[in-house]
Structure 1
Amino acid sequence: MYNFLFKKIAIYILLFSFISLTYGQETIDFAVANWPPYFDDKVKNKGSLAQYLKNLLKNKGIDVNYVWYKSWKAAYNNSSAGRVMASPGWICNKERAKSFYFTYPIYIMEHVVFHLKSNPVKLTSIESLKNAGPIVITESYYFGREFETAAKKYKFAIRKVRLEKLSFNLLLKNRAALAPMPLDNGFIILNKYYTKEQRDKITYSPSFFKNNYYHVMVSKKYPEAIHLYETLNKILIKQSFNNKLHSDLKLHKVCPGVTQPEW
């Protein structure tokens, strides 16, 4: 009798372990900050990307808990220190790879360049930015290795702001000439924080920036980092394959120079 019960309990333990390994952690904590429309703690669904991740992981038996910070810099620092498991919505680079593993992409974004209508721009290459005037970018944002290299080589005039919405303040005050950012994000900020008179002064031009791939960064200081990284990859790759979108992305092409386990 006791042997039978012991064997039965052992089987349940093994089954539970298998489920845990298959679906990952019961709850995943994500460090985030406001970035409408993708992450927004003032709306019911917490933003389009927040809802997408929550629904996707819920279907695999994983709950998502968003830990909100006042800035993405704070979200980065707290997850880098291992106080939060991971943080979604980041572009990979070698510096960040010292502290994080980058999952298979969760979102692909195309950028434009906002500027004043009174200051038309014609950008033919990334090098042409050197003559375009000051460029305003948000702290913690990364526009790719090509931009980073060109900025150092040609000594771009860079103005950094803590919040993305402040980029338009610098444009309107003629303290910056260009503000690269996602088109939909820019329009949401303009409509939310600026008057019609101010909005009418601003336009945008196509950007030569390549598509940006956004990932979940898994903190290397999290004890189960590799397990969480692999679990998320399986789910994200399967979702991408099911949608017949971007299912053939390779780590070395999306994250050149970053060394970590393959997707």
Structure 2
Amino acid sequence: MLCGSGHTKQLTIAIGDYPPFASKALPKQGIVPRVIRAAFASEGYTVKFEFMPWGRSFASALKGKYDAAAFWFCVPERKKNFHCSEPLYYEATYFYFRKSKPLTDWGNLSELSEFNIGATKGYSYTEEFWEFAKRGVLNVNTVTSDVQNFKKLLKGRIDLFPIATIPAKHILKEHFAAEEVEQVAFHAKPLMVESSHLLFLKQSKKSEVLLKAFNRGLSAIKESGEYQTILNSLGTFKTSSAKYIFVK
């Protein structure tokens, strides 16, 4: 029997909506839950995902209410309390803008002080981004969803909005008319390229066991080809380049 216990082990993981990667409205809840389930299944675990706002999902995992939190950048602040899994995928984030007020070029974030920038509550972006926002170097306005930020961008209430291209395309297709989509573009220079991870609370005695099990399972589904099959359900990606959202 699985794990030698006579029963498959059940895990509960906190997660937020981030379509097309994860959402309770998507088939099988999206590709990230599918990858996580497949990796754990190879180690004899089943997984239940509980969707909630990103900030609450992190806070709940920090209080030990869940076996893990999905899916987060492994920044130094989070490493204080959590073990980070091997990367689920890599994600490049770009600044979107209205073509009527384009971002023609930028080298440092401080050069963007003239723009009103939208951000989504609970997202990491970069330490420098939030530090500049705190100091007033950047004018950053925060709302609770990416859809809200695109609405604000189109209405001219913000000038820039950082988001990865695949979720951006999904949101624009699902929530906006073609003539609205035509009004926006993004700058080719990424704000950041970061990997996303499962987080396991260090205070939990079972976290190291689960971390090792997940990493083994993730390696196994990559070797078997199941990982790439799941990713390709969104389309075909060049996974050898950091220019694309998935990197081996």
Q: TM-score, normalised by structure 2?
A: 0.80
Letter of the aligned partner of 1:66 in structure 2?
F
CA RMSD of aligned residues (A): 2.8
1:10-49 CA deviation, whole Å, 9 max, x = no partner?
A: xx9xx837x99xxxx8122110121101111112211111
Q: TM-score, normalised by structure 1?
A: 0.76
Q: For 1:206 and 1:242, how far apart are their aligned partners in 2?
A: 34
Q: Which deviates more, 40-49 or 119-128?
A: 119-128
Q: Percent identity?
A: 20
Q: Which residue of 2 aligns with 1:16?
A: 4
Letter of the aligned partner of 2:42 in structure 1?
N
Query: Quick check: 1:193 aligned with 2:175?
Result: yes
Deviation of the 1:239 alpha carbon: 4.8
Q: Which aligned pairs between 1:1-263 and structure 2 lie closer than 5 A?
A: 16=4, 26-69=9-52, 71-151=53-133, 155-237=137-219, 239=221
Q: Which residue of 1 aligns with 2:244?
A: none
Q: For 1:168 and 1:82, how far apart are their aligned partners in 2?
A: 34
**Equivalent residues of 2:73, 2:197 under 8 A apart:** yes
Letter of the aligned partner of 2:79 in structure 1?
A
Deviation of the 1:224 alpha carbon: 1.0
Cα 1:31–1:241 change in 2 (3 A) is same
Deviation of the 1:236 alpha carbon: 3.0
**Equivalent residues of 1:109, 1:211 under 8 A apart:** yes
Deviation of the 1:221 alpha carbon: 3.8
Letter of the aligned partner of 2:138 in structure 1?
F
Cα 1:68–1:127 change in 2 (3 A) is closer
The structure with more strand, counted as a fraction of residues: 2
**Equivalent residues of 1:114, 1:203 under 8 A apart:** yes
1:190-222 CA deviation, whole Å, 9 max, x = no partner?
A: 111112232222222213323111010112343
Q: For 2:20 and 2:4, how far apart are their aligned partners in 1?
A: 37
Unaligned runs of 5+ in 1: 1-11, 247-263
**Equivalent residues of 1:80, 1:221 under 8 A apart:** no
Letter of the aligned partner of 1:87 in structure 2?
A
**Equivalent residues of 1:103, 1:215 under 8 A apart:** yes
Unaligned runs of 5+ in 2: 229-238, 240-248
Letter of the aligned partner of 2:103 in structure 1?
V
Secondary structure in 1 aligned to 2:28? coil
Letter of the aligned partner of 2:99 in structure 1?
K
**Equivalent residues of 2:19, 2:167 under 8 A apart:** yes
Greater Rg over alpha carbons, structure: 1
Q: For 1:102 and 1:218, how far apart are their aligned partners in 2?
A: 7
Q: Which deviates more, 139-148 or 183-192?
A: 139-148
Q: Which residue of 2 aligns with 1:259?
A: none
Deviation of the 1:89 alpha carbon: 1.4
Q: For 2:171 and 2:89, how far apart are their aligned partners in 1?
A: 20
